[in-house]
């Protein structure tokens, strides 16, 4: 999303990914973390040397920068993958996510 001159956010790109059969069995926190890691990797070229904000309706993602290790090796690997990016995570309730929440269904 890009903040335009009229202070409204506008998408600059759309992307999607079909889950594998194994991924369809992930818990919600794993799916949210997978989406974050995939999105950052997908747009790595644009994000690598920039500060950016991740807006999510999944509160568990708020702690990914604070907690050193999780009891989930998969999540630990994903966090290690994105730790070199300069971002912060903001929580926004699902009802305020609008089109982004709708499109993720």
The confidence score (pLDDT) of residue 35 equals 94
The confidence score (pLDDT) of residue 102 equals 43
Each residue's pLDDT tens digit, 31-46? 999 999 999 999 999 9
The confidence score (pLDDT) of residue 25 equals 97
The confidence score (pLDDT) of residue 1 equals 64
| Angle, CA of 76, 32 and 67, to the nearest 5° | 40
Q: Where are the domains of the chain?
A: 16-103
Yes or no: say if 40 and 85 are a contact pair by the CB < 8 Å rule. yes
Each residue's pLDDT tens digit, 59-71? 988 888 777 677 8
Low-confidence ranges of the chain (pLDDT < 50): 101-103, 105
């Amino acid at each position: 999303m890009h903040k335009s001159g009229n202070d409204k956010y506008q998408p600059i790109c759309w992307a999607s990914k079909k889950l594998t059969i194994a991924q369809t069995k992930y818990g919600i926190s794993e799916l949210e973390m997978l989406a974050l890691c995939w999105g950052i990797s997908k747009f790595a070229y644009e994000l690598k040397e920039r500060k950016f904000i991740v807006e999510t309706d999944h509160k568990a993602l708020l702690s990914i920068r604070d907690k050193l290790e999780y009891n989930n090796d998969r999540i630990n690997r994903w966090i290690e993958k994105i730790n070199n990016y300069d971002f912060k995570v903001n929580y926004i309730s699902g009802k305020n996510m609008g089109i982004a929440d709708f499109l993720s269904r």
